[in-house]
Chain A
Amino acid sequence: MKRILIQDTDGNKKKDLRDFAVALTSQLRERNLDGQCQVVTVADLGVYNKGLAARVLPEGFIYKNLEIKNITEIIDKTIIAGQKIDALAFDKKSKQMRVVLRNCGVVDPESFDEYVGNDGYQGLVRALEMGPEQAIAEMKKSGLRGRGGAGFPTWLKWDITRKVSGDVKYIICNGDEGDPGAYMDRSVLEGDPHSVIEGMMIGGFAVGATYGFFYIRAEYPLAVERIQKAINKCYEKGLLGKNILGSNFNFDMEIRLGAGAFVCGEETALIASVEGLRGYPRPRPPFPSVKGLWDKPTVINNVETLANIPYIFAKGGEEFGKIGTEGSKGTKVFAVTGKVRNSGLVEVPMGITLREIVFDIGGGVFENKAIKAIQTGGPSGGVIPEQYFDTPVEYESLQKLGSIMGSGGMIVMDEDDCMVDISKFYLGFCVDESCGKCAPCRIGGTQMLGILTRISEGKGKADDLNKLNQIALAMQKASLCGLGQTAPNPVLSTLKYFAEEYRAHVEDGKCPSGKCASLVSFLIHKDKCTGCGLCARNCPVNVIAGSRQEKYVIDQEKCISCGMCYQVCKFDAVERQ
């Protein structure tokens, strides 16, 4: 049986789609083919802005920009003869590649057997056979760099820790995914807990650690539950404990919960938190590799980094090194969210462009609005404007643009998003989360937030932009830890790329995107108002009055500029100024 899956990939030709479906169905019926071919309208073909599109199964041909006149040919050639019509065909190559997420959505995360059935713990077997030095050499071949943000080569971290003498060493899995708007690590912990455990065991073996800690956010109860179940299972099977897989490698593991502090994503603060203290960072050096948890040599790897490791050992470092670019090997998982049509997790080989991720995979901007910027790296990252969307995704290239790879947050912003407001949002987050230990971060952040708030209220002063720049640079240079050093990034990058928006706020007292409430007012046009009263009923502060005859009016004195009337009006009678 054949199936034709059809969809309106522009999202605005519902009627055309219906007509096409009706025509297709009736032609099939006329030719007595309706028993052999099912017509299905689908929600998403994974193809965007290609008009009416169809996918024919089982062949898998994709046709684009279809019209009713193409139907006869499709039936003749494809349905009956099984041939591809080149003139209509659209070759869609999948741009995603699943390494980290290889088991997510495939195995039952609570089943040890299924993980083993998908080559689980084979990487550990190989690592144990190789011995620690060889295992580190294998990691070097793979070229894997830390996925937590900074991109430090994983093999080097392991090598340094291995070479430090010490009877007790630790490995910690950093699962304190603090970037608001990103959830790659949660997904891996929940969807494939054993791969992270296996990665940690291999890491522990390579550096000579005998104890591993999972540091996971308490806000991720399901992840905690699944990791705990997986650890229990490993103990039950003898994969954790003494003489693992018949070798002389002993390894134990337990979970420690985070408690909602963004700064604990920083290595030294995380260590303090595992020790049961408040998450204060401390100066480096000494680095954790030398003096970490309870002053013992400690290696800290992020969840995604660890999930790569079983793959590297099962397939070989060289094979892994073929994915990605020269300096950035492998794949990266991104949480693409914000104003994007398909928000979700994507895993792509390094070197793909931002445009491909957002438009080809993500389907472009929500409601077809104009895209303004892509933000990567969360509160430590920066915004990237449209002229740089063809930049390949690599650690260095994103840094050059004033952003960072970060842990994988990728947020799409459209014309309605105000860049002053965005930088205020991110900075506000860092000010909230600053631990207060060092002055540049504690005071600098607060001062910058004050200035940004002033600007967003239309009370900005002429030299405010200079001041922001100065404080930001001082914070970057003088802060103690990564949080303070990177917190100014959203401000600096928006200042760099969207200076005119800042100037509009300061000089003209206007918010071009209409987001900053104090700079926006709403007005009802008498000629367009039908007097339906929907706005008045929805106004949260009851300041819209009127009647069907007299039309409605907003009391400007009392209006809080929430924009509710603007949203609900069906006749475009409310204007935003």
Chain B
Amino acid sequence: MGIVKQDLLNMKTVAVNKRAKNWIRVGYSTCGVAAGAKEVLEVLTEEAKTRGLDVEVKKCGCLGLCSAEPLVEVNVEGAPRVFYGKVNKDVAHKIMDEHVCQKKLVDGHIYEI
């Protein structure tokens, strides 16, 4: 038996409650992957794990700013929510180091969209 309307509403409530307070989204569509999103995602996931940080790292679709791919959106408490563009491994490490841990924005890679 398939789900009914009420099930959908319950699922919605669960999904909304499950949302992480601190999160990082990596644009993971063809253009992002072509520009190197895979290794960026790996670095971020790995760092979050090894440092034991309370931040959820996840994939998302294309944000639209293709010339700035790979694009990463960061939302952690204590710092403004921003997009970083042209992120590579080094910048990914910096994002974890400076933005997530020290609540300092990383120089040179912010894109306002």
A–B touching in complex (CB under 8 Å): yes
Contact of A343 with B by CB under 8 A: yes
Per-residue CB contact flags for chain A residues 49-68 toward chain B (1 = under 8 Å, else 0) read 00000010110000000000
**Do A116 and B15 have beta carbons less than 8 Å apart?**
yes
Per-residue CB contact flags for chain B residues 72-113 toward chain A (1 = under 8 Å, else 0) read 010000111000011000000000000000011111111111
**Do B66 and A3 have beta carbons less than 8 Å apart?**
no
Question: Which of A41, A45, A117, A344 makes the CB contact (< 8 A) with B112?
Answer: A45
**Do B61 and A38 have beta carbons less than 8 Å apart?**
no
**Contacts known (A107-B61, A117-B15); A3 close to B2, Cβ less than 8 A:** no
* Min CB–CB distance A159 → chain B (angstroms): 26
Contact of A515 with B by CB under 8 A: no
Contact of A191 with B by CB under 8 A: yes
> Which residues of chain B are within 8 angstroms of A120 by Cβ–Cβ distance?
12
Contact of A186 with B by CB under 8 A: yes
- The listed residue with most A CB atoms (<10 A of its CB), out of B25, B30, B106, is B30
Cα–Cα distance between A371 and B80 once the two chains are bound (Å): 36
Cα–Cα distance between A191 and B110 once the two chains are bound (Å): 22
Contact of B48 with A by CB under 8 A: no
Contact of A319 with B by CB under 8 A: no
- The listed residue with most B CB atoms (<10 A of its CB), out of A40, A58, A121, is A40
> Which residues of chain B are within 8 angstroms of A431 by Cβ–Cβ distance?
none
**Contacts known (A109-B61, A187-B29, A342-B65); A43 close to B2, Cβ less than 8 A:** no
**Do A41 and B108 have beta carbons less than 8 Å apart?**
yes
**Do A125 and B5 have beta carbons less than 8 Å apart?**
yes
Per-residue CB contact flags for chain A residues 106-124 toward chain B (1 = under 8 Å, else 0) read 1111100110110111100
**Do A343 and B64 have beta carbons less than 8 Å apart?**
no
> Which residues of chain A are within 8 angstroms of B18 by Cβ–Cβ distance?
113, 117
**Do A43 and B86 have beta carbons less than 8 Å apart?**
yes
> Which residues of chain A are within 8 angstroms of B19 by Cβ–Cβ distance?
117
Contact of A104 with B by CB under 8 A: yes
Interface residues of A in 485-542 (CB under 8 A from B): none
Cα–Cα distance between A344 and B63 once the two chains are bound (Å): 9
**Contacts known (A117-B16, A238-B2); A105 close to B27, Cβ less than 8 A:** yes
**Do A187 and B111 have beta carbons less than 8 Å apart?**
no
Total interface residues in chain A, CB < 8 Å: 58
Interface residues of B in 1-26 (CB under 8 A from A): 1-5, 8, 11-12, 14-16, 18-19, 25
> Which residues of chain A are within 8 angstroms of B30 by Cβ–Cβ distance?
183, 186, 190, 220, 222-223
Cα–Cα distance between A187 and B86 once the two chains are bound (Å): 19
**Do A57 and B80 have beta carbons less than 8 Å apart?**
yes
> Which residues of chain B are within 8 angstroms of A55 by Cβ–Cβ distance?
112
* Min CB–CB distance A157 → chain B (angstroms): 27
**Do A344 and B3 have beta carbons less than 8 Å apart?**
no
**Do B67 and A342 have beta carbons less than 8 Å apart?**
yes
Total interface residues in chain B, CB < 8 Å: 49
**Do B105 and A104 have beta carbons less than 8 Å apart?**
no
Contact of B68 with A by CB under 8 A: yes
**Do A44 and B27 have beta carbons less than 8 Å apart?**
no
**Do B61 and A237 have beta carbons less than 8 Å apart?**
no
**Do A245 and B3 have beta carbons less than 8 Å apart?**
yes
**Contacts known (A44-B112, A113-B15, A122-B8); A237 close to B64, Cβ less than 8 A:** no
- The listed residue with most A CB atoms (<10 A of its CB), out of B5, B14, B85, is B5
**Do B61 and A113 have beta carbons less than 8 Å apart?**
no
- The listed residue with most B CB atoms (<10 A of its CB), out of A119, A125, A191, is A191
**Contacts known (A116-B12, A245-B2); A104 close to B61, Cβ less than 8 A:** yes
**Do A191 and B60 have beta carbons less than 8 Å apart?**
yes
Interface residues of A in 200-248 (CB under 8 A from B): 220, 222-223, 237-239, 241-246
Contact of B33 with A by CB under 8 A: yes
Per-residue CB contact flags for chain A residues 257-287 toward chain B (1 = under 8 Å, else 0) read 0000000000000000000000000000000
Contact of A345 with B by CB under 8 A: yes
- The listed residue with most B CB atoms (<10 A of its CB), out of A103, A125, A187, A242, is A187
> Which residues of chain A are within 8 angstroms of B5 by Cβ–Cβ distance?
125, 245-246
**Do B11 and A345 have beta carbons less than 8 Å apart?**
no
**Do A117 and B12 have beta carbons less than 8 Å apart?**
yes
**Do B111 and A104 have beta carbons less than 8 Å apart?**
no
Contact of A42 with B by CB under 8 A: yes
* Min CB–CB distance B9 → chain A (angstroms): 9
Cα–Cα distance between A342 and B109 once the two chains are bound (Å): 14
**Do B16 and A191 have beta carbons less than 8 Å apart?**
no
**Do A190 and B4 have beta carbons less than 8 Å apart?**
no
Contact of B59 with A by CB under 8 A: yes
Cα–Cα distance between A344 and B69 once the two chains are bound (Å): 10
**Contacts known (A104-B64, A105-B25, A344-B67); A3 close to B3, Cβ less than 8 A:** no
Contact of A127 with B by CB under 8 A: no
**Do A187 and B61 have beta carbons less than 8 Å apart?**
yes
**Do A103 and B15 have beta carbons less than 8 Å apart?**
no
**Do B60 and A237 have beta carbons less than 8 Å apart?**
no
Per-residue CB contact flags for chain B residues 32-68 toward chain A (1 = under 8 Å, else 0) read 0100000000000000000000000011111111111
> Which residues of chain B are within 8 angstroms of A45 by Cβ–Cβ distance?
112
- The listed residue with most B CB atoms (<10 A of its CB), out of A44, A186, A245, is A44
Contact of A1 with B by CB under 8 A: yes
Please, could you name 14 A-B residue pairs with CB atoms under 8 Å apart, sorted by A?
A40-B107, A58-B80, A104-B62, A105-B63, A105-B71, A114-B15, A117-B19, A183-B30, A190-B29, A192-B61, A238-B2, A245-B4, A246-B5, A344-B67
> Other than the known A192-B61, A241-B2, A246-B4, what 15 A-B pairs have Cβ atoms closer than 8 Å?
A40-B107, A43-B110, A104-B60, A105-B60, A107-B61, A109-B28, A109-B59, A117-B11, A117-B19, A187-B29, A187-B62, A190-B61, A238-B2, A343-B67, A345-B64
